Amino acid sequence: MDSETNSLLFISSENIRSLVYLIRNKQVILDFNLANLYQVETGALNRAVKRNINRFPEEFCFQIIGEEYNNLKCQFGSSSLTSGHGGRRTLPYAFTEQGIAMLSSVLRSDIAIAVSVNIMKAFVEMRQFISNNALLFEKISNVELKQLEYQKNTDHKLDIIFDHISANAENHQKIFYDGQIYDAFSFIIELIRKASNDIILIDGYVDIDTLNILCKKQPGVTVTIYTDSGTKLSNTDVSTFNSQYPTLTIRHTKNFHDRFLIIDNTVVYHIGASIKDAGKKYFAINLMEDKSLAQNIINRL
């Protein structure tokens, strides 16, 4: 055995293990890495395999697909996979432990035999390591599964909490300035859509623009408007609204100067301007937190 071949006997198992990839649940080494170890061209290695293809069933050797190759590049970096592969028009072939053992007989060289022996030793060491640490790996897997399950449950609980906050958070005070028509319009519609049973609007000045806002309510929610007897809404306007968004009732009162929006007979907002004028002038909306005051307004209706 010459000195070159003898030096190959001392290729470290660590160097060989760095060339082993897990593809299709099998430990394999790619053809161009084997070619480098065997000191032959990749094409020559693969031609030798094709001449003896009956010795290389799929469990010995298979050509990887593009997705598998891209996954390897993502995991290990393109630099570790391009040496010997650059310029090729075909994807690499992967050799299992049995395929590598068969290669030494196909290539018929002292170098191939010496390298194959070292590769076999590396595979044996890897299997022994996995076997000796199987219990540890199982414990790690169980811990990871528990962490994933805990994370999943935690994320779900946080989603519920944030959804509840989003759905139930109340803006106690809101001020809109001249020109904030869209913001004011959107905020009032958000309040309107909170109602699940009924809406009461106390507003001395209502018109078609008021109905354009109230039509955004949830289906089945009834609406009662308390307004001045000189309202600009006609019976035709009310009938037209009810034909598509039932049920709207108009009642007349002169007892209120300010505007109020009452949601489901429990939540009361004090509004500084008619909702039809939302955003056209400075005005504020306040949530009345004193339940007794809110109930007093409802009782006076």
Among 124, 119, 125, smallest CA distance to 107 is for 119
- Lowest-confidence segment of 38-47, 95-104, 123-132, 253-262 by average pLDDT: 123-132
Mean pLDDT computed over 140-155: 64
What CA–CA distances, in Å, run from 300 to 62, 74, 147, 248, 297? 85, 71, 58, 20, 5
pLDDT at 171 over 60: no
Mean pLDDT computed over 148-162: 64
Rounded to 10 degrees, the C-alpha dihedral 16/41/28/112 comes to -60
Mean pLDDT computed over 252-278: 86
The H or E element containing residue 205 is none
Angle 97-107/31-38 helices, nearest 10 degrees?
A: 40
Work out whether the CA dihedral 69, 74, 80, 83 comes out positive or negative.
positive
- Lowest-confidence segment of 160-164, 190-194, 209-213, 255-259 by average pLDDT: 160-164
Token digits of residue 139: 């414990």
Name residue, tokens 């010995």: 60
Threshold 0.75, pTM exceeds = no
Give the model's pLDDT for residue 225: 93
Among 188, 196, 241, 187, smallest CA distance to 215 is for 241
Would strands 222-227 and 248-252 be described as parallel, antiparallel, or unpaired? parallel
Q: Tell me if 96 sits within 8 A of 61, measured CB to CB.
A: yes
Q: CA-to-CA distance for 104 and 118, rounded, in angstroms?
A: 12
Q: CA-to-CA distance for 150 and 158, rounded, in angstroms?
A: 12
Token digits of residue 135: 């219990």
What CA–CA distances, in Å, run from 232 to 64, 189, 205, 301? 77, 21, 8, 21
Name residue, tokens 């306007």: 237
End-to-end CA distance of the chain: 109
Among 56, 58, 37, 39, smallest CA distance to 48 is for 56
pLDDT at 169 over 60: no
pLDDT at 33 over 80: yes
Q: What is the pLDDT of residues 85-139, one digit of tens each?
A: 455 678 999 999 888 888 878 887 778 777 878 888 888 777 776 666 666 656 6
The amino acid sitting at 22 is L
Name residue, tokens 């592969």: 85
Give the model's pLDDT for residue 8: 47
Q: What is the CA radius of gyration of the chain?
A: 39
115 or 83, which is more confident: 115
**Domains with residue ranges and CATH for the chain:** 3-136 (no CATH), 173-300 (3.30.870.10)
Q: Tell me if 188 sits within 8 A of 165, measured CB to CB.
A: no
Which of the four pLDDT bands, split at 50, 70 and 90, describes residue 300?
A: confident
Give the model's pLDDT for residue 151: 66
